Chain A
Amino acid sequence: MRIRAVVGAVIASGAVILGGWEAGAQHSTTLTTQVATPGTGVTGSAAAPQTSSGSTASGTPTASAATAPGATDGTYKGSVVDTEYGTVQVSATISGGKISQVTALKLTDDGGRSVQISNRAAPILRSEVLKAQSANVDSVSGATYTTEGYLSSLQAALDSAHFG
């Protein structure tokens, strides 16, 4: 009788855990593909400039390599990027052909831990981006999802500004 209970318990528990693992593995693959194609598979991509501070190609581009003379000044909203920990959206402000500001409109927020992580990562990403003048910056360790979402959204914003 006891043996029956143990065998039953092992089989049933094993099946349940295996089922959970399978579900999780599938879930992971779909997510991976989604994140791997930022910008394209993402909805609500780049809005028009919100505040056009100067519609003509504003002068004084500095001679820095990072400047993009073709970009119009203004604030551009990035796309809303889905991550496993919630959606991410940033806006980029271009002025004088440079990225002058990046604002996080929405960060990963599924659970307090995600909020904690994104709050830590956002300032780091912002300063890295401003320094590099592009969305090509290193991932913040321990904040992979936030970084991916942040940079994808930013890239969409930069694209719509014809920056770079």
Chain B
Amino acid sequence: MTIHEVRPPRGAVRQPASAPVKARYRRRMRRADLLVVLSWVSVAIVVALFLAQSGTRGFASVTDAVTSVGVICGLVGTDLILLMMVLAARVPIIDGTFGHDKAMLVHRKLGKPAFYLLLAHGILLLIGYGMASGVNPVVEVGAMWATLPDMPLAFLALALLVVVIVSSFVAVRRRFPYEVWHAIHLLTYLAVLVAIPHQLSVGRLFVDGTLQRTYWLALYVVVAALLVIYRFLLPIVRSLRHSLTVRRVIRVADGVVSIELSGRHLRELNASGGQFLVWRFWTGKTWWHAHPLSLSAVPSDSSLRITVRALGAGSGALAYLPTGTKVSIEGPYGIFTQDARTLPHAVMVAAGIGVTPVRALIEQAELAPGEAVVIIRAASDQPPYLWQELRTLCASKGVVIFLVEGSRSRVLASWQSADAVERGYTLASYAPDIAKSDLYVCGPAHWTDLVIQDARAQGLRRGQIHVERFDW
């Protein structure tokens, strides 16, 4: 047998599509739509503010049109960068509506368009200004530098953005440790900051007292406030308030440890099973590395638990954390939780260390017997991490759990074992109600993609599929 099933006794009345799930989902989608509309409108507003000022005259001649389009590129590009900053600011309403990983996905997607717009801004204005004074764009660089206010800073901003974007190209990014890449990434803040003076002083759009100037300054202030509050102040306040320390480190399997932490007033964190926090362990060897790790159990008021595969350069040392090590946190983040539910049933598929959020999620979730199915994928040589806990938990909650073990197929890429593939199993074989289910997937990136592929083949919509990815 390669597939074990633990089926709970039937008998309890199966609850139909729970009304709170639907209502919660509708509310979340309304919020999501509203935020999407707001983001688009923020772009429209900056264009409208420009048009209101320039009028048709901004497009009266080719020179004017080139210049105007150049200015619009700059305004929209800057607005997108501010949007990206908000997306990365861990604002609770964004995190709770889209989830941290989706917000970061959009953040990444906006990066290149924003950069190209700002590049176009520079180039078009060199051409436009050059045409106006009858010189070529290259000569205009010198003229701009010398005769326009704050231009050296603006050129610096563009140069910084080039560095940031190049460092984010996949090929380049892989060469650096996360910390180095992240430090380079923070230059974006500097780039935006040093670009502000030229925005206010060069254009006529932002002379004192205009609506445009007021709007943009307010925009900068709001974005800065969100960043300061949610990225810096809140984590510091929470870390101090809850004063987490390592209580003990328990070996779970080879290279895998559970870390139990003690703290105060942990209920106030409002952490749900399935969420993750960014952890920093304050020992000499580990303080510089922040670890995004899921809770592997629902927190109590005085303790938390995470389960870590302590293998990487940064996480290897976590297996030897001394008791009493101080821990600071950012979070909790993510909506790999029951709040993401949209449908009457739930299916959770996990592999490797991906079982940890699933374990906590099941513990937290209000589930009627038979409402949920858990599928755990593991190699045959060792049981999945936290397996005993998972079985006990599923049995008590009336959750069907499958263990799909065995080596993977050499011929066909599948999330299942070779055996299961041969028998023609799909997600629907384990969870007949898959079409009416929310699917939660957590595991290695490639494996996760294969699960999603199977799910899509079963006709699941994207909105039904909830994934926890730990890439940033």
Q: Mark B298-310, 1 if CB is under 8 A from A, else 0.
A: 0000000000000
CB-CB under 8 A from B133, the residues of chain A are 117, 120, 142
Asked whether B1 is an interface residue with its Cβ less than 8 Å from the other chain, the reply is no
> Do A27 and B53 touch (CB < 8 A)?
yes
Confirm or deny: A5 has a beta carbon within 8 angstroms of a beta carbon on chain B.
Answer: yes
Binds A, one of B38-46, B283-291, B315-323: B38-46
Give CA–CA (A112, B48) in the complex, Å: 22
User: Can you list, as one digit per residue, whether each of A106-135 has a CB less than 8 Å from chain B (1) or not (0)?
Assistant: 000011111011011000000000000000
Q: Determine the distance from Cα of A28 to Cα of B54 in the docked complex, in whole angstroms.
A: 8
A1-B29, A19-B48 known; A9+B41 contact, CB < 8 A: yes
Complex Cα distance A10/B149, Å?
A: 37
Partner of A24, one of B43, B54, B134, B143: B54
Q: Are A117 and B132 in contact (CB under 8 A)?
A: yes
Contact indicator A5/B33 (Cβ below 8 Å): yes
Quick check: B48 and A9 within 8 Å, CB to CB?
no
- Which of B155-163, B203-211, B438-446 lines the interface with chain A? B203-211
B411 at the A interface (CB under 8 A): no
Q: Cβ of A12 < 8 Å from any Cβ of B?
A: yes
A8 at the interface (CB under 8 A from B): yes
Query: Does A17 belong to the interface (CB within 8 Å)?
Result: yes
Is B50 part of the contact surface with A, judged by Cβ < 8 Å? yes
Q: How far is the CA of A116 from the CA of B149 in the complex (A)?
A: 9
B237 adjacent to chain A (CB < 8 Å): no
Minimum distance in angstroms from A139 CB to a CB of chain B: 12
Q: A21-B48, A24-B55 are known contacts. Are A113 and B203 too (CB-CB below 8 A)?
A: yes
Give Cα A112–Cα B207 distance, bound, in whole angstroms. 10
> Is the interface on chain A under 10, 10 to 19, 20 to 34, or 35 or more residues?
35 or more
A159 at the binding interface (Cβ < 8 Å): no
Residue from B48, B50, B54 whose CB has the most chain A CB atoms within 10 Å: B48
Closest 3 CB pairs of A and B: A20-B48, A142-B132, A28-B55
Kindly state whether residue B49 has any CB partner on chain A within 8 Å. Answer: yes
Q: Do B134 and A141 have beta carbons less than 8 Å apart?
A: yes
Contact between A1 and B33 (Cβ–Cβ < 8 Å)? yes
What does the 1/0 interface line of A1-14 toward B look like (CB < 8 Å)? 11011101110111
Q: List 26 A-B contacts (CB under 8 A).
A: A1-B32, A1-B33, A2-B463, A4-B33, A5-B33, A5-B36, A6-B36, A8-B33, A12-B40, A13-B41, A16-B41, A17-B51, A20-B47, A23-B51, A24-B54, A25-B56, A27-B52, A110-B204, A112-B148, A113-B148, A116-B147, A119-B147, A141-B132, A141-B134, A142-B131, A142-B132
**Residue pair B57, A31 in contact (C-beta under 8 Å):** yes
Closest residue of chain A to B462, judged by CB?
A2
Q: How far is the CB of A84 from chain B (nearest CB, A)?
A: 7
Residues in B whose Cβ lies below 8 Å from that of A16: 41, 44-45, 47-48
In the assembled complex, B426 has its CB within 8 A of some CB on chain A: no
Within 8 A of A (CB), among B138-182: 143, 147-150
- Tell me whether B409 is interfacial, beta carbon within 8 Å: no
